[in-house]
Structure 1
Amino acid sequence: MSESDDGGATLPDDLAGVRRRLIDWYEADHREHPWRETDDPYAILVSEIMSQQTQLDRVVDAWRDFLDRWPTVESLANAARGDVVSFWSDHSLGYNNRAKYLHEAAGQIVDDYGGEFPETPAELQELMGVGPYTANAVASFAFNNGDAVVDTNVKRVLYRAFDIPDDDTEFERVAGELMPEGKSRVWNNAIMELGGVACGKTPRCDVAGCPWREWCHAYETGDFTAPDVPTQPSFEGSRRQFRGRVIETLGEYDELGLDELGPRIRVDYTPDGDHGREWLRGLLNDLSDDGLVDLTDREETMVVSLRE
């Protein structure tokens, strides 16, 4: 094992072998997500935004439907924002502000970049709603021009395989050292696949034919502990579900008063109850702050409409 120059975590001496094994394993067999079959940055950006905190089995059909409706970044930029948000809600993608940001990012690409996608992680982060992880993923998968991706799955792999301490700086350093130069597209796909298929919370080392068993500290010691992984919050009955119902309902009406909207989004709505006007106002204030709805005080009630 070789030690880093600053005395940090160690990696195997045979880094070339480590890299080759993982890439060969991935290229021999991997999950067939449709966005892996393209290098179109627009399609990849849509997949990355949709996949944030949303289960992949809900993303595939939504991604295809979205691209059928808005096949280019120009068509999305020219769409009505309310239509994009309603689509998001109809497909149970949650967190409707992501639809708003994606729509605004499309406008930036058309207006500020002449319809040409920026190609580096730093440039991509200038787009609305695109953080470091998403920017790096798009740069990697569309342009083969990214840095090493470090998500929850990658951290779990590095922690177990090479006994890397649970420290973000070390994860970033080791991930960067492992990635072969000029191969961010295949490498980032491969290491995330390893974490998703072979090195999940319950490891499947032998069943999945993990290519790193020869070097893996956890496989050698039998200690498969890993950093805590946040669980996906339940969608049914959640605040984001009711936010989605508000957007979906308002897509059918020009405007609604509180007591007209309330029963349409939850069956137990009672104006003065626990899930009544006060609860609904809080939900709508959040949506207004996110730029998704307009609230107008009219006589003795509040009227709600989708923001254009």
Structure 2
Amino acid sequence: MLEIEGLRKRYGGTVALDGCTFTVAPKRLVGLLGPNGAGKTTLMRCLLGLVVPDGGEVRWLGAPLDGDRGRRFGYMPEERGLYPSMRVAEQVRYFAMLSGLPSAAAAEATTGVLHRVGASDLSERRVEELSHGNQQRIQLAVALVHDPEILVLDEPFAGLDPLGVDQFGALLLDLAADGTTVLFSSHQLDLVQHLCQDIVTIDRGRVVLAGELEQLQRATAHRRVTVVFAEPSTTAWTTGLPNITVERADDRHVQLRLEADSDPDHVLRAARTAGSVLRFDYEPPSLEELFREAVGR
């Protein structure tokens, strides 16, 4: 268990972290969310020991993290941290040795991690010759080559095509299932909702929403209903329905906001008075809605 307790950091008059507190459990993918400038980068740098917080503590397995963080953490920065002209295997092996592995162990670990990220056939290629997606694979290989206990990724899906996103996401799920503690930041909320069991949302240096995504959705006071009609219709059928707001509508689609105690069967019966219903979806709020409510804008 990775525990972040009351982290504070100020840069002059700017408060970057203001008592940031949450936990990251093993075998879970945890999405770190927040608007630009919320404090996510400062938080990650504190976890990695690159920034010393003004207060608070980071604990791993119940004990404060010591100075040997490089062996415990794997880090994948948003900006590319690779040497463009180096060959892939040489580069991964170099970073393995920087992490403390002796030469022979570094070579063995390099072979294994390139196979794991699906990049064995790229070992003799130069990084500058690779596509963006394959460069992401090598960046992840560098983060994993020393077999870290905790993996911190900053916008790992940025710039990937849909196939690359699927492959990268599957790999992260496998890593978490094998016991690696995985925390990644992303602005792609639909992707976070698809992959992550837990989320942490930071705004102005404070945690404003944290926990298991399904529980957070169940705890909200409203639901969404989307109705699709076979033929053009109006929203007149919604008049008089209690605790319901029309959020969006065109001639065949209507999106409603319902309070949690509203009866969806009552809404469906009313919709059928207006025409043939092709689709009726009753859902909790999306992660994007939770995010917008949590940050208040």
Q: What TM-score bracket applies, with the shorter chain setting the length?
A: under 0.3
**Which is richer in strand?**
2
TM superposition score normalised by structure 2: 0.25
RCO comparison, higher one (Cα < 8 Å, 6+): 2
TM superposition score normalised by structure 1: 0.24
